Each structure stands twice: as C-alpha cells, then as structure tokens.
C-alpha cells in the first residue's frame, strides 16, 4: 500500500517551499535561479495536500480556520481561499456561515494490488448491488473477439450493469464473457454477485491475472445521467482483460467509474537489473472487478 499522507498539522523544518522568498535584487528569482512560486501554484499545492487528507480521513472536520491554514502552509490567506474554492468546486467541502468549512464527501479506495470483486473491495463500506441493464448473447466486435480468443462469428455474452454502493451509483460496467462461461452466468443472480466469483464457481478454476489500462475521460450525456454526475465530469475508464489461472482469457470489461468518488491505489517498488533502474509495479494489471 502507499505510504501514509503527511499529517495536516505536520510542519516542515526550515524554510517552507511555498514561501516564495526571493533573493534581494534578483528580479523575483531565488539564488539558484528558480522563479518564485506563483500564488495560483501555491493554492494548488495547498489544495492537493488538503484533498488527500480529506480522502484519507485525516483532515479535521470542520477544517481549521483560514488563518491557521495559512500559518501551517506558510502561504497567504488569499492562497488558502483559492485552495478552498478549488475543493468546493470539486464538491469535497462546503461552508456554513458562523460554523465553518466542513467535509462534504469522501472517496472510496479501489486497490489495484489484488484481483477482487467490487463487493470484496468495498466490504465494510456498505452494500454493493447491481442494476442489470442488459444480459444478452451477441456476436462481439472483431477486436473484442480477438481479445477473448474467439473465432470470427462466434458469440459471446454481453452484460451491462450499473453498480451501486447503497444508493450511490459508482460505476457503469460493460462486460464481454467467453460463451461457455457466459451462458451459465446468465442463469445466476447478477444483481448481488460479483462476476469474478461467478466465473470461478462456473469454471472450477481460480482467476489468474488481468491486463489493465486506466485513463481519464469526460462523462458523456448518457454516462452522466446514468451515474448521476454532471456532464463532462471526470470518469475513470478501466479496460481490463481477465484470465483464468491456466491463462485463458474469459472476461473483457470496460468500466466507467466516478472520478469524484473513487481513488485508485497501488504500491510501487523499485528494482534493479544490472545498472538499469526501473520502476516495477507491484501487482500490475490487477484490480477490483
């Protein structure tokens, strides 16, 4: 897992990097030639730290006063106000007159270091349920058939599910399954069970690995309405091809997750191969399903 975020009230020793003090007569530059940090950049730096504190549950609620935050981050009150405005625009905080600034919502961690279903991933946060919007046999596009190792014209099973945590819509999943497994999945309770658990029960095998790609996309009109989020808001699109333990691909998914309610997490390790330093991803290609 990732290292714990820096506590909100932990002060750095020595000059703060956002102090922006310049060498006299340097024309706004530091002695090493680096330019002073602009106010807007300072505001983003404060917002980044506060955002992580909110998501990790380590931020006081209500938040400290602007004067206290300005002192802790060694920035002006204007920079603090801009940082808080950014977080309000993201829907993370709100403000009540004479009460203060409070945490409006937090995110849920979606770990990428193990191959687990969404119910397993969010266990302890509430009930995960599925609204099944489509469950049919069809001939998939050639690119999908190729990923699943199907012959041209061979059918697959297609599922579309809107996945909720309690009453909160979190993800819209489009799933293509290998025909032999998918045919039996259609007879199962798709409203409450994870696809991963069904695949393992039907196949008699454990899942082995998954190839995963993640990118940020804006919510289109349909996705926004379905996920109850503003059109154009940030979504995380996961493309994942999952294999059985014997290496056979059986499940290709395109998953749209709400970027305002989900944080993807993993731990990275650095390894050496001779003199070649590389970043090695721990648990690469594995995610909740």
Rounded average pLDDT over 241-248:
96
Confidence of residue 120 (pLDDT cuts 50, 70, 90): confident
- pLDDT of 255 reads 94
Confidence of residue 11 (pLDDT cuts 50, 70, 90): very low
**C-alpha dihedral over 222, 226, 227, 229, to 10 degrees?**
60
Tokens encoding 281: 């991803």
User: CB burial class (10 A; 0-12, 13-18, 19+) of residue 73?
Assistant: buried
- Give the global pTM: 0.71
Q: What percent of the chain has pLDDT over 70?
A: 78
């Amino acid at each position: 897992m990732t290292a714990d975020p820096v506590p909100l009230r932990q002060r750095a020793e020595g000059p703060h990097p956002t102090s922006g003090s310049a060498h006299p007569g340097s024309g706004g530059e530091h002695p090493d030639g680096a330019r002073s940090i602009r106010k807007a950049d300072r505001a983003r730096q404060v917002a980044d730290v506060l955002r992580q504190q909110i998501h990790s549950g380590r931020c006081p609620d209500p938040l400290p006063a602007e004067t206290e935050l300005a002192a802790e981050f060694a920035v002006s009150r204007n920079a603090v106000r801009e940082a808080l405005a950014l977080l309000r625009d993201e829907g993370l905080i709100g403000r009540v007159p004479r009460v203060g600034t409070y945490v409006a919502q937090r995110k849920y961690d979606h770990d990428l270091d193990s191959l687990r279903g969404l119910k397993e991933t969010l266990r302890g946060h509430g009930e995960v349920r599925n609204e099944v919007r489509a469950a049919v046999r069809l001939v998939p596009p050639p690119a999908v058939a190729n990923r699943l190792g199907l012959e041209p014209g061979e059918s697959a099973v297609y599922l579309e599910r809107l996945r909720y945590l309690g009453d909160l819509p979190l993800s819209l999943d489009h799933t293509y399954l290998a025909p032999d497994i998918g045919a039996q999945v259609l007879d199962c309770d798709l409203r409450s069970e994870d696809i991963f658990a069904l695949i393992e029960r039907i196949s008699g095998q454990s899942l082995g690995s998954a190839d995963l790609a993640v990118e940020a996309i804006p919510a289109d009109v349909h996705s926004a309405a379905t996920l109850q989020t503003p059109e154009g808001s940030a979504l995380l699109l996961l493309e994942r091809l999952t294999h059985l333990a014997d290496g056979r691909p059986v499940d290709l998914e395109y998953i749209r997750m709400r970027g305002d309610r989900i944080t993807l997490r993993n731990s990275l390790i650095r390894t050496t191969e001779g003199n070649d330093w590389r970043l090695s991803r721990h648990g690469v290609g594995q995610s909740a399903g």
